[in-house]
Amino acid sequence: MAENPSKDPVDFGPGLRKIRQRRWFLWLTILIYLPAMMASLRFSGGMNMAVKVFIAWIILLFITVWFVATIRCPDCGNYFHTNGPTFFPARRCLHCRLHINADKKGDDRVKQETE
């Protein structure tokens, strides 16, 4: 349900680019966990360093999730990945269904509504 289907998807480009950048940072934060833990266990010689690395990673993860969850949709202005108390890193806005690549592929919300 597009609120204003006459908007050009290219106008959403800067906002969608910011959303994509924050999502990439989230996935990189998640992927860095295993190598960081392996390195801390191998090079530190004890569990003390591994616990410190784990705590630092958890803090980084919380901050990253907060940044991703609080980004707003460039079309409807609501939180892109958050609907109520739930966070869901979907490829579409949870409110207006704007696709994360609408500036590249075009806005397909009108096509979906008629099908």
Q: What is the reported pLDDT for 23?
A: 92
Instruction: Give pTM, 2 decimals.
Output: 0.75
Report the C-alpha gap between 75 and 7 in whole angstroms: 9
**CB atoms inside a 10 Å sphere around CB 97:** 19
Identify whether the C-beta of residue 74 lies closer than 8 Å to the C-beta of residue 17: no
Alpha-carbon distance of 91 to 93, in angstroms, equals: 7
Q: How far apart are CA 110 and CA 107, in angstroms?
A: 7
**Three-class SS of residue 1?**
coil
Query: What digits encode the pLDDT tens for the residues 38-77?
Result: 998 888 767 888 899 999 999 999 999 999 999 998 888 8
Q: How far apart are CA 90 and CA 17, in angstroms?
A: 15
3 state SS of 13: helix
Confidence of residue 36 (pLDDT cuts 50, 70, 90): very high
Q: Say if residue 84 is exposed, middle or buried (CB neighbours under 10 Å; 0-12, 13-18, 19+).
A: exposed
